[in-house]
Amino acid sequence: MPETYHIPVLLEEVIQQLNIKPDGLYVDCTFGGGGHSMGILKSLNANGKLIAFDQDEAARHNVPDDARVLFVPHNFRHLKRFLQLHNIKEVDGVLADLGVSSHQFNEANRGFSTRFEAALDMRMDQRQERTAADVLNTFSETQLHKLFEQYGEVTNAKTLARTIVAARNTAPLQTIEGFKTAVHDVVKGNPAKYFAQVFQALRIEVNDELGALKELLEQLPQVLKSGGRAAIITFHSLEDRLVKQFFKKGSFEEVDENPFEMTTRSNPFKAITKKPIEPSGDEIKRNPRSRSAKLRVAEKI
């Protein structure tokens, strides 16, 4: 693994919490630089297997030459379909370490970082058509407003949306610098922090990050063996809320309250972490990007 691709977050905690069976079958939904995958492989014997998903083709270069590993260059929302295709009924554990890798963030031309001048891209999967520029140039003012408010917690989301629509009526927004200049007058507070929130919101939308997470969670009760564990690392509150809610109820569906029947949906999960595990002060010092990480773990009953 190249030294700088990505530093795995909460590595020891993840490996410990997955409670790895040496001859088990595990899925790393977010292979990236392969840091967590290497940890899983170290705990597996020659009969163990690891299926590693990453929708970014760049991650493939980090895949070790190891017969126990199968790399899947697709979105983890297709997990169940992929397992079915390979006649795999259930697995012993699933890990997802959400968001972008440091590599994606540090590659100027991927368009994830406000530090560089590049096209407004932000696609993790470059086979996908829709880019950040498409979102900025085609979403309605209301859609943009909601997007910046919900995914970025941008304080003046409405004003920002209005400014974007006015700017794109003159010329389409194509580049990071062009975008920053167009909205310069409505930036509030520290510009670096402001643009980080704005870019986070765009990235979540471009990659449908919450949609993919929801679909993954909904598949877990079917793909995990009894006693198998799911470990999910999130980096912002919207993701963490989805994971927390799903592990608590085992479903996103509301149960109709019928006062005449004692129908309660049984939760297929037992919570292993009552509260999320967070990085230690030491880890945050070593790897500042770990600071907002939250690890939640559940076991299939």
Residues that bind ligand SAM (CB under 6 A): 6, 8, 30, 32-36, 53-56, 59, 75-77, 97, 99-101, 124, 212
> For residue 286, how many other CB atoms are within 10 A of its CB?
11
Which amino acid belongs to residue 108? A
Residue nearest to ligand SAM (CB): 32
Determine the length of the chain: 301
- Rounded to an integer, what distance in angstroms lies between the CA atom of residue 21 and that of residue 190? 48
> For residue 38, how many other CB atoms are within 10 A of its CB?
18
Closest CB 155 distance from ligand SAM, rounded Å: 27
Chain Cα centroid distance, residue 296: 14
**CB of 25 or CB of 204, closer to ligand SAM:** 204
**CB of 105 or CB of 116, closer to ligand SAM:** 105
> What 3-state class would DSSP assign to 146?
helix
Nearest alpha-carbon partner for 235 in 278, 274, 173: 278
Closest CB 25 distance from ligand SAM, rounded Å: 18
**CB of 6 or CB of 244, closer to ligand SAM:** 6
> What 3-state class would DSSP assign to 299?
strand
Closest CB 35 distance from ligand SAM, rounded Å: 3
Residue 148: phi and psi, rounded to 5, are: -70, -30
> What 3-state class would DSSP assign to 91?
strand
Closest CB 171 distance from ligand SAM, rounded Å: 31
**CB of 54 or CB of 205, closer to ligand SAM:** 54
Q: Which residues contact 70 (CB under 8 A, 6 or more apart)?
A: 49, 50, 51, 52
**CB of 24 or CB of 39, closer to ligand SAM:** 39
- Rounded to an integer, what distance in angstroms lies between the CA atom of residue 158 and that of residue 64? 47
Contact 4, 282 (CB under 8 A): no
Residue 98: phi and psi, rounded to 5, are: -75, 170
**CB of 70 or CB of 187, closer to ligand SAM:** 70
**CB of 53 or CB of 247, closer to ligand SAM:** 53
Q: Token pair for residue 297?
A: 């773990």
Torsion sign, CA atoms 173, 174, 176, 177: negative
Closest CB 137 distance from ligand SAM, rounded Å: 24
**CB of 125 or CB of 141, closer to ligand SAM:** 125
Task: Name the strands in the sheet holding 269-271, side by side, starting at the edge strand that comes first in the sequence.
Answer: 69-72, 49-53, 25-28, 91-97, 224-234, 294-300, 269-271
Closest CB 3 distance from ligand SAM, rounded Å: 12
Closest CB 233 distance from ligand SAM, rounded Å: 8
Closest CB 265 distance from ligand SAM, rounded Å: 27
